[in-house]
Structures are given as C-alpha cells and as structure tokens.
Amino acid sequence: MRIMAMRRFTGAAIRACSSSSGYFARQLHASSGESKKIVGVFYKANEYATKNPNFLGCVENALGIRNWLETQGHQYIVTDDKEGPDCELEKHIPDLHVLISTPFHPAYVTAERIKKAKNMQLLLTAGIGSDHIDLQAAAAAGLTVAEVTGSNVVSVAEDELMRILILMRNFVPGYNQVINGEWNVAGIAYRAYDLEGKTIGTVGAGRIGKLLLQRLKPFGCNLLYHDRLQMEPELEQEIGANYVENLNEMLLKCDVVVVNMPLTEKTRGMFNKEMIGKMKKGVLIVNNARAAIMDRQAVVEAMESGHIGGYSGDVWDPQPAPKNHPWRYMPNQAMTPHISGTTMDAQLRYAAGTKDMLEKYFKGEDFPAQNYIVKDGVLAPQYR
C-alpha cells in the first residue's frame, strides 16, 4: 500500500486541527527517568515460541524488549486478550501511556477506548497498517500514531507473488488430492494456466505494489498499475509497468487484480458488486491489504457464480476470523490467516523499529518522518 515520504505538517493544518476537542491535551513526551506503562497486544505462539530465536512478535517473546524496558523502570504488560468489556486489554486502557499492537492480531482502538485512555500518548503498530485505530479520534485527542514503515514490504510482496502463482496453477485442489489419497490430473489441469503473457494489475503502487511489479517482470507479464500518483518515467521503464489513471479501465483488462491500498473511509467496501462486475469473468484476485476494502458478500457471490475465478489473501474482517466466516467456505479460495508480513525476517525488522521509536519517545525525539500516521493532529496523506 502507498506509504509516501511524509509531507511536512504545515502550521496551518496544525492550527486547523488544534480547535478539535482534546487536541494538544496529551504531549508526546517522556521525561528522563519517568516510569511509563506500556501495553503490547500480540498473538500467542504457545509451543512455537521457543522453536525459533527470531520469533519476537508473540506474547511470549514480546518483541524482545521486556528486559530493556523493565531495567529502565517501565511497566510492560503483554496480552493476546483484546476483545470485550472484560478483556485484559480493557483493564489497562485507563492508565496506559503506550499501546503497541500488530496488524496480525490487532487491538481495535475505538473512539470509546481513546476516551477512556486518559494517560495514553502513543499508539505504535509493530508492522504496517494502522486502520485498527480510529485515526480521526486519535488525531482529535492529540495522540501520536506511528508504525514501522517498510518493515514487511519484502515479506508481503513475495507472499503476493506466491498467491498469484497458487491461483494461476490451481495448486490448492492438487494439494488436497495428495493429502486425501486421490489422483485426478484433469481435475487440476482444466483451470491451470501459465503466468507468462497474462495481464496483472495492482491497485496501489506504493512500496509493496512497486516491489511486486519488479518481482513479476521476469515472468513476461503485461504489468499495469493504478495509483494516486504516477511513477517517474524512468522507474516505469525499469519495472516495465504501465500506468492506468482510470481504475475501471484497468480492471477490464486484468487477468489478475492485486489489492495494495490502505483501508480508509474512501476505500472501505470499494470492491463491491458493481466494481467486481466490471472485471473479466474468471478474474483472479489477491488481497493482502485489508479485507474491508472488499464487500464481503459480493466476493462470496462472485466466487460462487464463477465471475471471480479464484481469491487469495491473508486479511480478514474481523481478525481473528470467526469459524463461520463465509470466506472460509468459498470455492477456489486460497486463504490463510494473516501471515504475509510476520515472517521471522519481518519480525526482526518491526521489533527493531518499535524499539527505536520507543527510545526516541523516552528521549523526546522525533520518529523517522515516514513512520508517522498521526502527528500533531494531522493524518498521513494515505489516510486522508
């Protein structure tokens, strides 16, 4: 999804937001030696927590920062219990200063929770994507929201390429035949295709979208992209991708559509029945961005009718997905839990990035500009 180099926040924008209720009420500042309460919400790894020393993004290993925080006198609470009025997270909302979460097991930070969190100053996403936070409410309350920009770009782009190939080659039915003791080549081959010569379009060409296009170039595809901004001509030529300003025009041409945009109020439910109906019959869709960009029922109906020939992704709404989520039972799907950006390599990057921002927070220093999602009451461009 698009994470541009952040424009500097203008004085006019800050003054405009300063009239919002609560703005500037919470200064992002931690005096030297001042103890802070930090809460981390991660998924449990259980028996897998000890199987890899780089498995940092779980409850058990807590980003690898527990000793570092506690030796400085800070309190560090870690949990996976994040839903409902009696959950563990809810108990700590009133007096926490910093809340850390991940896109893979998100702590949904609603306007109601923000109102209760009288001491909260900083919301950190260990990874990329902060749509689990009510960003408008956070801005109005004077909170800072930041994420580890770039930490899982390679991980997600590689995963998208894998999913394109899985759908194109009809891999899942073949795998299921093997584990079920079956052998029916025709049942796989009738809808398996080469990637070469196909038209692949990415909706969104930020860091992940660009890298995906670069990874696809050797396959000999016709590469298209739609984005708010067109790439520089030299980069377009290097990647071999063509810009399509009109999204509907691009969708008509694509054999594969990859979603690489952030979830905002504008993009929520964007791929509805009407938009899906404009795509080629049998189109393959890969979505590792956010599930709510899709109209859930429209996807189910298009999969059942065959208008969508295959759907793969790792994002669900909500997360974790309930057992009765309809996407679990669609034909020709290749869904997984939210895993693309939480490889061991990515975990090392987003754990280090989170620690770096906490260090700067304790010292009263600015974060890298591209990491800010909300700063001084202003949302980053991709979320406006």
Select which of 163, 290, 347, 382 is catalytic.
290
- Determine if residue 341 is labeled as part of a ligand binding site: yes
Q: Please, is 229 exposed, middle or buried when counting C-beta atoms within 10 Å of its C-beta (0-12, 13-18, 19+)?
A: exposed
Q: How many CB atoms lie within 10 A of CB 17?
A: 19
Contact 76, 62 (CB under 8 A): yes
83 is in an annotated binding site: no
Read off φ and ψ for residue 202, nearest 5 degrees.
-105, 130
| 319 in catalytic set | yes
**Omega cis (within 30) before 320:** yes
User: Can you read off the two tokens belonging to residue 274?
Assistant: 């009407």
Contact present, 316 and 291 (Cβ < 8 Å): yes
Cα–chain-centroid distance for residue 89?
A: 21
* 131 known member of a binding site: no
Of 61, 152, 170, 371, the catalytic one is: 152
Task: Show Cβ contacts of residue 218 under 8 Å, excluding neighbours closer than 6 positions.
Answer: none
Q: Which of 170, 319, 332, 382 is catalytic?
A: 319
86 is in an annotated binding site: no
Give dist(CA 213, CA 200) in Å, integer. Answer: 9
Rounded alpha-carbon distances, angstroms, from residue 367 to 130, 362, 372, 374: 16, 11, 7, 12
What is the rounded distance in angstroms from the CA atom of residue 254 to the CA atom of residue 246?
13
128 assigned to a ligand binding site: yes
Residue 338 known to bind ligand: yes
Of the residues 2, 97, 163, 338, which is catalytic?
338
- Return the ∠ at Cα 381 (arms to 246 and 311), rounded to 5°: 50
Amino acid identity for residue 121 in this structure: Q
| Residue 207 in marked binding region | yes
Q: Is 152 annotated as a binding residue?
A: yes
227 annotated binding-site participant: yes
28 is in an annotated binding site: no
Residue appearing with tokens 């620690």: 355
Q: Is 105 a catalytic residue?
A: no
For residue 58, the 8-state DSSP code is B
Question: Which residues contribute to the annotated binding site for substrate?
Answer: 128, 152
Annotated binding site: 128, 152, 207-208, 227, 262-266, 288, 314, 338-341
> Which residues does the annotation place in the binding site for NAD(+)?
207-208, 227, 262-266, 288, 314, 338-341
Supply the residues annotated as catalytic: 152, 290, 319, 338
